[in-house]
Structure 1
Amino acid sequence: MPEPVDHAAAGDRVDHADPEGPAGPVGPVDPAQVQRLTDAVTRLRRALRSSIRTDYPWESLPMAQVELLQTLAAGPLRVGELAARQRLAPNTVSGLVSRMLESGFVDRQADPGDRRTARIALTEAGHRQLADWQRAHERRIASALDALTPDDSAAVFGALGALERLATALGEDDGRA
């Protein structure tokens, strides 16, 4: 008899409209489990932010700017488009962009579709800063994963597909981590 396939762990798409799904009926969501997940995500984010500054004190780029760099890595965008993707007010994004222009991480480019507006694009320095930031985080996470048991590491990697779908369900569709 063939082994059952854990579709979520295998990275297969799960049809969330089908309450039966590949694993059977989906029951009510346990509020205690939702709270644990919320706490874990918050602690992970805080731990990453804190550990990167401990290991790399030069890293003073605020998360809001890092997230803009991540969004711009896919290509230039207008400030309004950036604001919509980041779910921030346009004036907040304008302020962040101004600081990033001063740092040399982004520049303004003429919008080929509308010469009255500009698009914000990453500079080489912005690409380098983002790549450095990403590598530093990958090293921190890899180190932490090495400290886990093999079963725990496998469970973390097995949950990635479901966590990515959760991010999509929460409305994050721009591909950021």
Structure 2
Amino acid sequence: MAAEEPEPFDDSFADVLAAVQRLVRRRLRRGLSAPRLRGAHIELLRLVATRPGIGVSAAAKELYLAGNSVSTLVNQLVKGGYMRRETDPGDRRSARLHVTPAAQERLHDWQRRRAALMGEQVARLDPADRAALAAAMPALRRLAENLHEEAEGS
């Protein structure tokens, strides 16, 4: 009796996606002279860079993290010179978050290096694999959107 073929979208699919993300981060950390930032730091910086002035609780909701976790990340990023906190003029108890020029430079460098790394690695694949990845991009984007929408509803 032949072994059953695994479903193409069983847990191994999520494992592959996580492995690619982890390996990309590991490769991008090589050669950095600046202190290492964890994935959560980068995610928060990217969010604040795209939504300047976002509050801590809104950032926590967007990232699906606890508010106190985001507060800790903000404190670490402020201390590192990557983020600044401004008092919300409409609610003196709330803070508005902004990235610093150092953070913008680091994010730009990270994005440039990530694009180069992925471009190099995809170029190493045969044409059929490159075409399959290109064809999968719209479906992967919809998958991410569905996961995001579902998380917002819960």
Q: TM-score range by the shorter chain?
A: 0.7 to 0.9
Which of the pair is proportionally richer in strand?
2
Q: 2:141 aligns with which of 141, 148, 164?
A: 164
1:82-104 Cα offsets, whole Å, 9 max, x none, are 11111111111111000100111
Letter in 1 for 2:9: V
Which of the pair is proportionally richer in helix?
2
User: Structure 1 residues 169, 118: closer, same or farther in 2, change over 3 A?
Assistant: same
Q: 2:75 aligns with which of 89, 98, 109?
A: 98
The reply to whether residue 131 of structure 1 matches residue 108 of structure 2 is yes
Task: Specify the alignment match of 2:26 in structure 1.
Answer: 50
- The 5 Å alignment of 1:16-165 reads 32-35=7-10, 36-56=12-32, 58=34, 60-75=36-51, 76-165=53-142
Structure 1: runs of 5 or more not aligned: 1-29
Are the aligned partners of 1:108 and 1:120 in contact in 2 as well (CA < 8 Å)? yes
Q: What is the percent sequence identity of the aligned residues?
A: 35
Question: Which deviates more from structure 2 when the two are superposed, residues 36-45 or residues 140-149?
Answer: 36-45
RCO greater where, 1 or 2, for CA within 8 Å and sep 6 or more?
1
Structure exhibiting the larger radius of gyration computed from Cα positions: 1
Whole-Å separation in 1 of the counterparts to 2:146 and 2:86: 33
3-state SS in 1 of match to 2:113: helix
TM-score, with structure 2 as normaliser: 0.84
RMSD across aligned C-alpha pairs, in angstroms? 2.0
Q: How many residues align?
A: 144
Which contiguous aligned blocks of 4+ residues in structure 1 show a shift greater than 6 angstroms? none
Whole-Å separation in 2 of the counterparts to 1:39 and 1:147: 22
TM-score, with structure 1 as normaliser: 0.74
Whole-Å separation in 2 of the counterparts to 1:115 and 1:154: 53
Letter in 2 for 1:63: G
Structure 2: runs of 5 or more not aligned: none
User: Structure 1 residues 150, 90: closer, same or farther in 2, change over 3 A?
Assistant: same
User: Structure 1 residues 168, 31: closer, same or farther in 2, change over 3 A?
Assistant: farther
